Amino acid sequence: MSAAVSRPVTIVVPVYGDLPTLLDCVDSVIANVDLSRHSLLLVNDVGPEADEIERALLSRIEGVAGARYERNARNLGFVGNCNRAVTELDATDNDILLLNSDTVTTPGFLEEMSEVLHASDTHGVVCARSNNATIASIPHYLRVPKTPRAMERSAAVHEHLRDDLRRFSISPVAMGFCFLIRRELIRAHGLFDEIYAPGYGEENDFCLRVNAHGYTSLIANRALVFHAGAKSFEGEKRMALRSAHEKIVVSRYPFYTDAVQQYLWRDIDPVDHFADAMLPGDDVPTVFIDVDSLDGSRLPDAAVQFLEAARVRASASVARFTVSVPDAAAPAAASRFRGITVVPHSQFRSLHDIGIAIGSPDSSAAQLLRLNRSALRWVYVNAEPEHLRRWDKRDARGESRTAVLDLISSADVIVGGSERANAELVDYLTATPVATSASWSVIEGLGPDRLIESLIGEWWTREVDIAGLRDRWFRFARPSAGKAETTPTEPRLTQWARRAQSIAPGPTSLARRVVNGVRRRLGR
């Protein structure tokens, strides 16, 4: 649909404080929006700097057609300010864009968002991508945890992937920092519930409320708006409001938190999920080594040799290694392989440039899920090719064999210890319905030093086949019938916090702080 068919938009900027950031926002709207077609409504909610802000805004928009300034008689809070602006001050039939005053827009953002909104009659609310917008952040998952999402980094990743991303994602909610709403929804269902005053949670409630009437919330993946975030409420007040209001949302929509988890687990485009690895922010590969099973009560010898070689090379300037091991082996592995991050299977949730699966007769469907979630590229180490041919090595139900064949068919690189080992595997695959497009490599004896050199030297930068990535992602994102381990869940600590919140008599910011403290001590 062309932008000319889309309805004009009134951009509402609720104003409270932080004048420098506010002026950046206004300047970006004036620069990036056609105000002869659309309109800008600035509503001063009379914060401590109300008079200074008024003078600055009136000066900034003087002579700007389509720009309008209003001032509330008293402070209404964010929710009240938005409601007054949309239902009282704006008398047009325009769609409404609620734009936080701590945002900076980019060229074409509004046209793209509006076209997405009107691409279907069922589209109700749309938000943009951003550097700071929870599930709409780009990149969302990070190769190096807790790395700040600088505006420049988000802009670079978005520019690199813009044409590869799906035009929009259907999500449980849209993010409130840049919130485009179809006008008829406001006429039919109102805007924000005042129970969320002064703010937090109101946009999620709105999205879920209109969804019950058949309207979807979307993320316009090709629109980018930067967001500073958390300017209106600081510290304890912000945490208390967020906790109390999230409790209201969950009580009204018990499915909400699970819906967000399901979106991030199964519905998100893998190009989006792996965005940070599609354009790495540094030259240091992040490598994930998955040890799926134990040899009795200890790690298999092939895994130990590989981990020892990784431990020697692990550094912030050469490569970052993470190993996922069975829970029972995690304490001993963490003690033995210092310098490598060791995570038990039950707690593994991270993102990597490349994942290594060491061939084993005991490979499982759970290993496929860990690789699928965590590794942009897969390397299958053909350590024991005979286990596929020997009937006495198979499990009774054939699940391990199926998992191995899935690993082989999905790998980007298959590496064996000899030409003969790889030839045996090729011969075996000839008699199966499995095909692979992986490149084949030989490292004599599967020497761990050579394996590591190949990983950090060439394999982690291999070009990604996006069609193949999507096929693999959605193939293994589906839950398998009867397999509890394939059902996605939040980390246990997060589950405990949410359970505490659901039964607590009041705000539970304390519970969140306790959980975050435990996570820091555990290194999660």
Question: How does pLDDT run across 312-336, given as a tens digit for each residue?
Answer: 888 878 899 999 999 999 999 999 9
In a shared domain, residues 435 and 307: yes
H or E element, residue 235: helix 235-252
CA angle 428, 432, 435 (to 5 degrees): 90
Using the predicted structure, report yes or no on whether residue 61 has a pLDDT greater than 80: yes
In a shared domain, residues 315 and 265: no
Q: What is the dihedral of CA 95, 100, 105, 110, to 10 degrees?
A: -10
Please compute the mean of the pLDDT values over residues 498-505 and round it to a whole number.
46
The Cα–Cα gap between 502 and 506 comes to 10
In a shared domain, residues 404 and 363: yes
Angstrom CA distances, 461 to 272, 317, 374, 412, stand at 18, 16, 16, 11
In a shared domain, residues 392 and 422: yes
When divided into structural domains, the chain yields a total of 3
In a shared domain, residues 453 and 314: yes
Using the predicted structure, report yes or no on whether residue 431 has a pLDDT greater than 50: yes
The Cα–Cα gap between 127 and 178 comes to 5
CATH number at residue 314: 3.40.50.2000
For all residues of the chain together, what is the average pLDDT? 87
In a shared domain, residues 266 and 352: no
In a shared domain, residues 249 and 122: yes
Task: Give pLDDT, residue 286.
Answer: 94
Tell me the angle at which helices 235-252 and 492-503 cross, rounded to the nearest 10 degrees. Answer: 80
In a shared domain, residues 406 and 509: no
In a shared domain, residues 396 and 499: no
Residue 381, in any domain of the structure? yes
**Residue percentage of the chain with pLDDT more than 70:** 87
- 117 exposure class (CB count in 10 Å sphere: 0-12, 13-18, 19+): buried
Contact present, 228 and 105 (Cβ < 8 Å): no
CATH number at residue 69: 3.90.550.10
Contact present, 351 and 277 (Cβ < 8 Å): yes
Please compute the mean of the pLDDT values over residues 443-453 and round it to a whole number.
82
Q: What is the pLDDT of residues 260-276, one digit of tens each?
A: 999 998 899 999 999 99
230's torsion region: left (phi>0), alpha (psi -120 to 50) or beta?
A: left
In a shared domain, residues 240 and 366: no
The Cα–Cα gap between 270 and 264 comes to 10
Residue 175, in any domain of the structure? yes
Question: 3-state class of 180 per DSSP?
Answer: strand
Using the predicted structure, report yes or no on whether residue 515 has a pLDDT greater than 70: no
Question: 3-state class of 469 per DSSP?
Answer: helix
Report DSSP state, residue 346: G
Residue 302, in any domain of the structure? yes
In a shared domain, residues 355 and 246: no
Residue 4, in any domain of the structure? no
At 495, the pLDDT band (50, 70, 90 cuts) reads low
The last residue of one of the domains, among 219, 254, 277, is: 277
Q: Which residue has the higher pLDDT, 295 or 367?
A: 367
Domain containing residue 467:
282-483
Residue 52, in any domain of the structure? yes
Q: What is the pLDDT of residues 119-162, one digit of tens each?
A: 999 999 999 999 999 999 999 999 998 888 999 999 999 999 99
